[in-house]
Amino acid sequence: MVLVPTAFITIAVIALLGVLLWRTHRDGGILFANSVDDIPTAYSFAFLYLPTIIAVLYSILWSWIDLDVKRLEPFFQLTSCCCGGLHTSILIYSNPRHQPILMT
């Protein structure tokens, strides 16, 4: 249930970057001021620190998804039909009575 919101967040960030790029090419920049002191504190924070905060939070979310996929992928491969599933696993051994025994 995390993949759909993450996909929407990714699309929103890409759209926002596209709009900012378009405004930069159209106006020659995003924010204009005669000196650094003329820039309001909220704008200064938004341009200096907010992109880093967003990138860190997004990377935490993405690493959570990535580690979850890496953790579950072997089990998905064992249950798939195209790769042979449990019959080709080296962890499963059948004794002469054909009862599966898990070897650790």
Q: Is residue 5 part of a domain?
A: no
Is residue 101 in a domain? no
User: Would residue 73 count as lying in a domain?
Assistant: yes
Q: Three-class SS of residue 102? A: strand
Global pTM reads 0.61
DSSP string, 58-93: HHHHHHHHHHHHHHHHHHHHHH-STT-GGGG-SSEE
39 found inside a domain: yes
* pLDDT at residue 91, rounded to an integer: 56
Residue 84 CB-half CA count within 13 A: 5
What does the alpha-carbon distance between residue 95 and residue 102 come to, in Å, rounded to a whole number? 11
Range of the domain at 55: 31-77
Report the alpha-carbon distance of residue 13 to residue 6 in Å, rounded.
Answer: 10
Residue 68 lies inside a defined structural domain of this protein: yes
The total number of structural domains in the chain stands at 1
Is residue 83 assigned to a domain? Answer: no
Report yes or no on 40 lying in a domain.
yes
- In a domain, residue 69? The reply is yes
pLDDT in tens, 11-46: 999 999 999 899 989 988 887 888 888 888 898 898
